[in-house]
């Protein structure tokens, strides 16, 4: 991937080791000086001007949803959700929501809604509050179970 701030700046090429999925994308911050590069599900934060690696995350990211009104991006692995500010910092990572996959994802106000896959082939609705990462519903109930006496 080739980077440069504008036509007059020096250009550089970055090769990014892919992770374990087929999802690839690039998100830039508002100033265009930093970028989040997703290569096969592996996330890299880079300084677009210098080429410096600022951080790594993920490895199993399967999709991402830009939330420009909040200045953030939501990254989805097969089991949970992580929110990063457009500048690259992780804000929160949800508890495990799904056994292995999501579908019918949508942003509704300040919430992410969708369905989480259960090992018996069923799909279960869930909601994630984007401000806090709090989850309601989903298919992975281990964190919600109450132990008996």
* CATH class for the region spanning 62-149: mainly beta
Classified as helix, coil or strand, 98 is: coil
Sign of the dihedral through C-alpha 10, 11, 17, 23: positive
Domain ranges for the chain: 1-61, 62-149
Number of Cβ within a 10 Å radius of residue 80: 21
The pLDDT-based confidence of 143 (bands split at 50, 70, 90) is: very low
Q: Quick one: pLDDT at residue 149? A: 44
Mean pLDDT of 38-61: 94
| pTM attached to this predicted model | 0.88
Query: Residue 115 pLDDT > 80, yes or no?
Result: yes
């Amino acid at each position: 991937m080739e980077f440069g701030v504008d036509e007059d700046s020096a250009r550089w090429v970055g090769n990014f080791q892919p992770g374990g999925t087929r999802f690839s994308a690039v998100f830039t911050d508002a100033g265009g000086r930093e970028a989040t590069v997703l290569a096969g599900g592996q996330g890299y934060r880079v300084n677009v001007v210098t080429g410096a690696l600022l951080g790594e995350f993920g490895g199993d990211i399967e999709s991402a949803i830009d939330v420009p009104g909040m200045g953030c991006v939501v990254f989805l692995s097969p089991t949970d959700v992580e929110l990063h500010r457009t500048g690259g910092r992780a804000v929160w990572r949800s508890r495990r929501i799904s056994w292995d996959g999501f579908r019918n994802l949508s942003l509704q106000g300040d919430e992410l809604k969708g369905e989480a896959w259960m090992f018996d082939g069923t799909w279960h609705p869930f909601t994630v509050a984007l401000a806090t990462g709090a989850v309601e519903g989903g298919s992975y109930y281990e964190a919600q179970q109450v132990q008996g006496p």
